[in-house]
Structures are given as structure tokens and as C-alpha cells.
Amino acid sequence: MSQMRTPFGRIVFDGNGVNTAAPAIAVQVLPSSSTAEIIYPSDVQTASFVYPMPTWDERVYQWKLVRGNSEAGAIAIATVFSLVLLALSLTSLLHRSGGK
């Protein structure tokens, strides 16, 4: 067994090289859900693993410009900062000195 500290926390490997301090989880975005579902380990599982993955023809895709509040907020913030940057650029162009 070996262990070490990292910026992300303590890592402990057993004799088989498995990290026992931070067990991994596996997630899958299922057609029946819009968020990722936990499929492994079974004690925290929220959905069953789907295999094989549906073909491209079997998938249903609904295009949306904005998928949620967080994306709408990010677009709003980006728009505000873009307008501020544009205003600063225009101000510096209009008020620059001739350099003479």
C-alpha cells in the first residue's frame, strides 16, 4: 500500500493499485433524463447502465439556444462585459490625443 498527498487531497493505493481513499463513480446521460445519472457504484446508483448506446437514428435531439438558467446567466454576463468593453474602446478612440 502506498499513499501520497496531492493538491486534490490524499490518495491511497492498495496492493492492486486501486485508489481506496477516493472511490470513483461512473455517470451516463440517459435518453430519459436531461442530467447525468450515477450508474456505478451500486450503493449510490441512480439509474441502470444503458448498453449499447442508442444509434444516431434512435436518438431524439431537441435544439435549444439556452438550456438552463446558468447558461442564460452566462450569456447575460458575457453580453454586459462585451458592451462595457465596446464602450471603453469607443471612448478611447474618440478621446485619443493626436500625439503631436
φ/ψ bin of 59: left (φ > 0), alpha (ψ from -120 to 50), beta (otherwise): beta
Mean pLDDT for 13-28 is 82
Share of the chain above pLDDT 90, in %: 21
Asked if the model's pLDDT at residue 77 lies above 80, the reply is yes
* More confident of the two residues 66 and 38: 38
Asked if the model's pLDDT at residue 20 lies above 90, the reply is no
Give tens-digit pLDDT for 21-45: 777 789 988 877 778 889 988 888 9
- The b/e string for 83-98 (b: 16+ C-beta within 10 A; e otherwise) is eeeeeeeeeeeeeeee
Mean pLDDT for 7-22 is 80
Residue 98: pLDDT band with limits 50, 70, 90: low
**Averaged pLDDT of the chain:** 83
